[in-house]
Amino acid sequence: MASEDVQVSGKDLALLIGCRPSYIVELKKKGRLVCAEDGKGYLRDASLALYGQTQDPSYSAVAARHAQARGASLAGAGVGDTTDAGADGDEVDADGDAESGEGATAPATPDAKRKAKALADKAEIDAKAAARDYEVSMGKLLDAGQVEHELAEAATAIRVELERMADTLAPQLAAT
Protein backbone atom coordinates (compact mmCIF):
# COMPACT_ATOMS: atom_id res chain seq x y z
CA MET A 1 0.00 0.00 0.00
CA ALA A 2 1.21 3.52 -0.77
CA SER A 3 -0.32 4.97 2.41
CA GLU A 4 1.67 2.66 4.71
CA ASP A 5 5.10 3.86 5.76
CA VAL A 6 8.07 1.61 6.51
CA GLN A 7 8.73 1.15 10.22
CA VAL A 8 12.37 1.50 11.30
CA SER A 9 14.18 1.32 14.61
CA GLY A 10 15.77 4.31 16.29
CA LYS A 11 19.22 3.06 15.33
CA ASP A 12 18.22 2.74 11.66
CA LEU A 13 16.67 6.21 11.70
CA ALA A 14 19.87 7.60 13.23
CA LEU A 15 21.83 6.11 10.33
CA LEU A 16 19.41 7.66 7.83
CA ILE A 17 19.63 11.09 9.44
CA GLY A 18 23.34 10.81 10.15
CA CYS A 19 23.39 11.27 13.91
CA ARG A 20 23.88 9.27 17.08
CA PRO A 21 20.99 7.07 18.29
CA SER A 22 20.80 9.12 21.50
CA TYR A 23 19.86 12.15 19.39
CA ILE A 24 16.83 10.22 18.11
CA VAL A 25 15.50 10.14 21.69
CA GLU A 26 15.92 13.91 21.93
CA LEU A 27 14.15 14.42 18.60
CA LYS A 28 11.30 12.20 19.82
CA LYS A 29 10.93 14.29 23.00
CA LYS A 30 10.80 17.46 20.90
CA GLY A 31 8.09 15.97 18.67
CA ARG A 32 10.24 16.02 15.56
CA LEU A 33 9.72 12.33 14.71
CA VAL A 34 6.64 10.25 13.90
CA CYS A 35 6.34 7.17 16.13
CA ALA A 36 4.89 3.93 14.82
CA GLU A 37 1.41 2.94 16.00
CA ASP A 38 2.73 0.15 18.22
CA GLY A 39 5.22 2.58 19.83
CA LYS A 40 8.20 0.42 18.90
CA GLY A 41 9.98 2.30 16.17
CA TYR A 42 9.38 5.18 13.82
CA LEU A 43 7.73 5.73 10.45
CA ARG A 44 10.69 6.34 8.14
CA ASP A 45 9.31 8.63 5.43
CA ALA A 46 7.03 10.62 7.74
CA SER A 47 9.82 11.07 10.30
CA LEU A 48 12.33 12.18 7.68
CA ALA A 49 9.81 14.64 6.23
CA LEU A 50 8.93 16.09 9.65
CA TYR A 51 12.61 16.26 10.58
CA GLY A 52 13.36 18.17 7.38
CA GLN A 53 10.48 20.60 7.95
CA THR A 54 11.50 21.41 11.52
CA GLN A 55 15.19 22.06 10.83
CA ASP A 56 16.45 25.54 11.67
CA PRO A 57 18.06 27.04 8.56
CA SER A 58 20.40 29.19 10.67
CA TYR A 59 22.40 26.08 11.60
CA SER A 60 23.02 24.81 8.07
CA ALA A 61 26.59 26.18 8.02
CA VAL A 62 27.40 24.35 11.26
CA ALA A 63 25.85 21.18 9.87
CA ALA A 64 27.83 21.49 6.64
CA ARG A 65 31.09 21.94 8.57
CA HIS A 66 30.44 18.84 10.67
CA ALA A 67 29.35 16.82 7.64
CA GLN A 68 32.57 17.83 5.89
CA ALA A 69 34.60 16.76 8.93
CA ARG A 70 32.93 13.34 8.89
CA GLY A 71 33.07 13.14 5.09
CA ALA A 72 34.39 9.73 4.08
CA SER A 73 32.74 7.61 6.76
CA LEU A 74 29.38 9.15 6.03
CA ALA A 75 29.67 8.77 2.27
CA GLY A 76 30.75 5.13 2.74
CA ALA A 77 27.54 4.44 4.65
CA GLY A 78 25.51 5.61 1.66
CA VAL A 79 23.76 8.42 3.47
CA GLY A 80 23.11 11.61 1.52
CA ASP A 81 24.62 14.87 2.69
CA THR A 82 21.29 16.71 2.48
CA THR A 83 19.58 14.70 5.20
CA ASP A 84 22.78 14.59 7.23
CA ALA A 85 23.43 18.31 7.06
CA GLY A 86 20.80 19.36 9.57
CA ALA A 87 21.39 16.55 12.02
CA ASP A 88 24.70 17.59 13.44
CA GLY A 89 23.93 21.30 13.48
CA ASP A 90 20.72 20.69 15.40
CA GLU A 91 22.42 18.17 17.66
CA VAL A 92 25.19 20.53 18.64
CA ASP A 93 22.89 23.47 19.19
CA ALA A 94 20.27 21.45 21.07
CA ASP A 95 22.85 21.00 23.83
CA GLY A 96 23.63 24.71 23.75
CA ASP A 97 27.34 24.39 23.04
CA ALA A 98 29.42 23.77 19.97
CA GLU A 99 31.77 20.81 19.82
CA SER A 100 34.63 22.48 17.97
CA GLY A 101 35.17 25.42 20.31
CA GLU A 102 34.87 27.85 17.39
CA GLY A 103 31.28 28.69 18.24
CA ALA A 104 28.49 28.84 15.71
CA THR A 105 29.21 30.07 12.21
CA ALA A 106 27.34 32.86 10.50
CA PRO A 107 23.65 32.13 9.93
CA ALA A 108 22.53 31.05 6.47
CA THR A 109 19.92 33.80 6.10
CA PRO A 110 20.17 37.48 7.02
CA ASP A 111 17.12 37.30 9.26
CA ALA A 112 18.31 34.20 11.11
CA LYS A 113 20.86 36.12 13.20
CA ARG A 114 18.28 38.72 14.16
CA LYS A 115 15.76 35.99 14.95
CA ALA A 116 18.27 34.12 17.11
CA LYS A 117 19.12 37.30 19.03
CA ALA A 118 15.44 38.10 19.50
CA LEU A 119 14.78 34.60 20.81
CA ALA A 120 17.74 34.85 23.20
CA ASP A 121 16.56 38.26 24.43
CA LYS A 122 13.03 36.95 24.92
CA ALA A 123 14.32 33.96 26.87
CA GLU A 124 16.39 36.26 29.10
CA ILE A 125 13.41 38.55 29.75
CA ASP A 126 11.19 35.57 30.50
CA ALA A 127 13.77 34.24 32.96
CA LYS A 128 14.00 37.61 34.71
CA ALA A 129 10.19 37.84 34.89
CA ALA A 130 10.00 34.35 36.38
CA ALA A 131 12.65 35.24 38.95
CA ARG A 132 10.75 38.43 39.83
CA ASP A 133 7.47 36.54 40.20
CA TYR A 134 9.19 34.02 42.45
CA GLU A 135 10.67 36.76 44.65
CA VAL A 136 7.23 38.42 44.92
CA SER A 137 5.57 35.12 45.84
CA MET A 138 8.20 34.47 48.52
CA GLY A 139 7.67 37.95 50.00
CA LYS A 140 11.22 39.10 49.28
CA LEU A 141 10.18 41.70 46.70
CA LEU A 142 7.59 44.44 47.23
CA ASP A 143 5.91 46.98 44.98
CA ALA A 144 7.84 50.28 45.00
CA GLY A 145 4.67 52.38 45.34
CA GLN A 146 3.54 50.39 48.34
CA VAL A 147 6.94 50.77 50.02
CA GLU A 148 6.97 54.54 49.40
CA HIS A 149 3.48 54.84 50.92
CA GLU A 150 4.48 52.90 54.05
CA LEU A 151 7.66 54.97 54.47
CA ALA A 152 5.72 58.22 54.10
CA GLU A 153 3.25 57.12 56.78
CA ALA A 154 6.11 56.15 59.14
CA ALA A 155 7.89 59.48 58.58
CA THR A 156 4.66 61.38 59.27
CA ALA A 157 4.06 59.44 62.49
CA ILE A 158 7.61 60.17 63.69
CA ARG A 159 7.26 63.88 62.85
CA VAL A 160 3.94 64.14 64.75
CA GLU A 161 5.45 62.46 67.84
CA LEU A 162 8.45 64.79 67.79
CA GLU A 163 6.16 67.82 67.54
CA ARG A 164 4.06 66.58 70.48
CA MET A 165 7.16 65.99 72.57
CA ALA A 166 7.56 69.73 73.18
CA ASP A 167 4.01 70.03 74.54
CA THR A 168 4.52 67.01 76.81
CA LEU A 169 7.98 67.88 78.12
CA ALA A 170 7.43 71.62 78.75
CA PRO A 171 5.17 71.24 81.83
CA GLN A 172 7.34 68.45 83.22
CA LEU A 173 10.50 70.53 82.94
CA ALA A 174 8.82 73.59 84.45
CA ALA A 175 7.78 71.59 87.51
CA THR A 176 11.31 70.58 88.36
3-class state of residue 62 by DSSP: helix
More confident site: 97 or 67: 67
What is the predicted pLDDT for the residue at 85?
40
Residue 71: pLDDT band (50, 70, 90) is low
- What pLDDT shows up at residue 3? 52
Average pLDDT over residues 95-115: 57
What pLDDT is attached to residue 6?
A: 86
Helix (H) or strand (E) holding 163: helix 144-175
Rg of the chain over all Cα atoms, to the nearest angstrom = 32
Q: What is the dihedral of CA 106, 108, 109, 111, to 10 degrees?
A: -40
Contacts of residue 46, defined as CB under 8 A and 6 or more positions apart, other chains included, come to 5, 34
Rounded to the nearest 5 degrees, what angle is found at the Cα of 146, between the Cα atoms of 145 and 150? 120
Looking at residue 113, its pLDDT comes to: 84
Domain extent listing, the chain: 7-108, 125-175
pLDDT tens digits, one per residue of 109-136: 667 888 889 999 999 999 999 999 999 9
Q: Give me the pLDDT at residue 63, please.
A: 73
**DSSP 8-state secondary structure symbol assigned to residue 97:** S
Other beta carbons within 10 Å of 84: 22
